[in-house]
Amino acid sequence: MRIKRIIDISGIISDKTTLWPGDEGVTRNRILNIENGDSCNLSVLNMGVHISTHVDAPLHFIEGGADVSAVSLNKFIGFAKVFSLNTSNSIKASDLSGLDINKGDIVLLKTINSLLDMTGEFNKEFVYLDEDAAKFLVDQKIAAVGIDYLSVENYYADNAITHKLLLQNDIGIIEGLCLRDVPEGEYFLSCLPLKLEGVEASPARAVLVEFDL
């Protein structure tokens, strides 16, 4: 078996990256610079941990929950299924019930969110996962779910019920995926968060791998 193609489904991280309202932007400080006569280039980066493509850990919404350094990597590396959904509002259980979703699957949801510019203005009307859909995925006992905007949760939600349902039931959450040019199908996913102690999320470099069988 050989690698046929590697598809980068990560968003760029820069000072132009779309931010969740209230999050800090990205700042980079070059503290050593070859152009200035230094022996190397050396930078310091400041940014929020929920920027661009990222993984949420239970600590995000569960008191005493696991931080991102302690989450099982089995949720974020393995074979994944990409499903393209036509809904223009929320993803409901009825949108998922006819799909080939089974225990242990990593489920990546491609929606019209993929048409949004992730270096543009934040869009509050993105497609999200509603409570019944989250319950459906919990019942299916999937490993993780990913979506193509900055949250699985409705922007206007005030109780984070979708996040809590997933995280309390040991389901990994991947947000901010770039799936615009990814056809439906099964791929090998690698989406590994940084091993950040005491932190509730981490940016991740997510790639899908296609194999020649």
Q: Do the Cβ atoms of 148 and 177 come closer than 8 Å?
A: yes
CA atoms of 195 and 104, how far apart (whole Å): 23
Catalytic, 163? Answer no
Catalytic-labelled residue, pool 50, 54, 60, 163: 60
Give me the DSSP letters along 155-171.
TT-SS-HHHHHHHHTT-
Q: Which of 176, 178, 172, 149 has its CA nearest to residue 54?
A: 176
- Looking at the DSSP bridge assignments, the partners of residue 84 are 110
Amino acid at 158: D
Letter string b/e over residues 98-111, b meaning 16 or more CB atoms within 10 A of that residue's CB: ebebeeebbbbbbb
Q: Which of 82, 72, 132, 87 has its CA nearest to residue 106?
A: 82
Q: Which of 62, 80, 56, 79 has its CA nearest to residue 176?
A: 56
Residues belonging to the active site? 60
